Structure 1
């Protein structure tokens, strides 16, 4: 088994709250500097920048887990990751169907653009991506798992846009592959407040919106290689694969 460093919650220039410097090229360059083996691309309610990040990452020898940060009807943020571009596009169709038709105001919320390898704008998303989609958390979880993806509620300890802030607790019947904690708490401190979460799998990531945050906190994964199925096994703690915090 090998140990891999992973920052699985990174926003690109496509997220309205992301810095305009968060291009695929710059993200990969910073990931190399931070000696990350794996990065997760998780823009708000959109997967459209994932392909270009993958192209850049392949050149650098970095693995990308392609995904998204979904805002559910309850305004809970959840990470979802998918193995192939075809499945990713199927989930994008789901997001497009349920994202409300609220037009973005770039001066108020920020630009929402997809850029190519030369950092030229190839697409601008007209809908406001930080809106909540009209599907609740159970519906989102069901769709992610129907497509064979991994479902991870994001920064569950945060004071906003989290399970604990929006619902007040973590539903015991929620089917999640792992739970993300922000850099502002440790697993030990979180379990003191929510002891019923003992035995669950946790990951910690940067939730980077600016270059300097990439890799500032990361998760170590013990796996044979960086393939998606190995990631799934690590979250499940199967066959010697595991998450190390």
Structure 2
């Protein structure tokens, strides 16, 4: 069995003609730019591009196949050298049953299936060109269509305060919204980890995935997983999510939850930390309190212990969080060592120190070993590496 670096949640900012797809996404996030950056700069082996339902994106994928730059694998997925792309779509459901909005991820094995999915979606949303659009159907209907097309269905960033299954404070069980048997995995989001999520007993049945939700090229692979598969294809990914035939997630790599934007409960007005049961900010008096993921999970907790066979969740500090490591120095590192995966996992300190200042090399090593001190994030503001 082989090991592959996988990030399954990357947005497209613009089409190849410059039309917007993810409004908040970088203009540089075109399909072509993403696959080149993920392969050559990040060192990933498999990515999910989750705005692939947009008709112009489908045309771009088809053009790359016609030119021979990309090849469709017989077992699903688009092959670009040693990188495999899984076409996907992030969608928003919001109906009386689901108490949303809730974001979900739907992945298709081929361009033909994605085109069929896109054509079907166009009858159920207002703008098929754009990302994360609200679909005017139930979560159950979306699940069934995804499965009818041979797809993968994963609820997205399930604990974030906005647009997630558990985050709004209304839903207390996934059975209120979905058919549990039609869920292939659970995406944790940047403010939680395996230990936190495993406090919900109903999640013990599912594989946890950790993805970047990248809105810029730099954010790709800020979270990812290492997956054991025979080869990087859609079919193998399906088996890995189900833990079949020796396939499966070997390790999840993600932000320490303290670095996430919504880890702690804060005042939306002044970002002052607010105890979970307080209704007013004790600093500015505002009633706008954003509940943190940690407090929300404690409200939902149903299990004293987690699933025993979970893979290790490794807290990782993305290189962009390293103090003093700006874009130019990072580019210098990548040019020298080949990819961010190599810098994060393999390059020894002595070699790093030959390319960047000793202090930055030391920060990278401390981050790799989990020895940095962190200041928690909340209310939409990321945490950070604190002064040592």
**Contact conserved, 1:50 with 1:66, CA < 8 A, in 2?**
no
Residue in structure 2 matched with residue 19 of structure 1 by the alignment: 26
With a CA cutoff of 8 Å and minimum separation of 6, indicate the structure with the bigger relative contact order.
1
Match of 2:160 among 151, 158, 162: 158
Compared with structure 1, are the counterparts of its residues 59 and 241 closer, same or farther at alpha carbon in structure 2 (3 Å cutoff)? closer
- SS of equivalent to 1:7: strand
Per the TM alignment, residue 43 of structure 1 is displaced from its structure 2 partner at its CA by 1.9
Residue in structure 1 matched with residue 345 of structure 2 by the alignment: none
Per the TM alignment, residue 50 of structure 1 is displaced from its structure 2 partner at its CA by 4.9
**Contact conserved, 1:222 with 1:242, CA < 8 A, in 2?**
yes
Per the TM alignment, residue 208 of structure 1 is displaced from its structure 2 partner at its CA by 0.2
Q: RMSD between aligned alpha carbons?
A: 2.2
Query: Is 1:135 aligned to 2:132, yes or no?
Result: no
Residue in structure 2 matched with residue 98 of structure 1 by the alignment: 124
* Distance across 1 between alignment mates of 2:29 and 2:183: 29
**Contact conserved, 2:91 with 2:133, CA < 8 A, in 1?**
no
Residue in structure 2 matched with residue 4 of structure 1 by the alignment: 4
Residue in structure 1 matched with residue 151 of structure 2 by the alignment: 149
Per the TM alignment, residue 171 of structure 1 is displaced from its structure 2 partner at its CA by 2.1
- SS of equivalent to 1:182: coil
Residue in structure 1 matched with residue 84 of structure 2 by the alignment: 63
Per the TM alignment, residue 221 of structure 1 is displaced from its structure 2 partner at its CA by 1.1
Per the TM alignment, residue 77 of structure 1 is displaced from its structure 2 partner at its CA by 0.7
Residue in structure 1 matched with residue 219 of structure 2 by the alignment: 213
Residue in structure 1 matched with residue 241 of structure 2 by the alignment: 235
Note the 1:163-202 alignment, pairs <5 A. Answer: 163-166=165-168, 167-172=170-175, 173-174=179-180, 175-192=182-199, 194-202=200-208
* TM-score normalised by length of structure 1: 0.82
Match of 2:103 among 77, 98, 103: 77
Per the TM alignment, residue 21 of structure 1 is displaced from its structure 2 partner at its CA by 1.1
Greater Rg by CA: 2
Residue in structure 1 matched with residue 38 of structure 2 by the alignment: 31
- Measured against aligned partners, the alpha-carbon deviations of 1:127-148 in whole angstroms (never above 9, x if no partner) come to x644411011111001100111
* Distance across 1 between alignment mates of 2:204 and 2:131: 33
Residue in structure 1 matched with residue 49 of structure 2 by the alignment: 41
Residue in structure 1 matched with residue 330 of structure 2 by the alignment: none
- Measured against aligned partners, the alpha-carbon deviations of 1:111-162 in whole angstroms (never above 9, x if no partner) come to x9xxxxxxxxxxxx4xx64441101111100110011111011111111111
**Tell me, which stretches of 5 or more residues in structure 1 are unaligned?**
102-111, 113-124
- SS of equivalent to 1:43: coil
Greater alpha carbon shift after TM alignment, 24-33 vs 82-91: 24-33
Per the TM alignment, residue 16 of structure 1 is displaced from its structure 2 partner at its CA by 1.5
* Distance across 1 between alignment mates of 2:164 and 2:142: 15
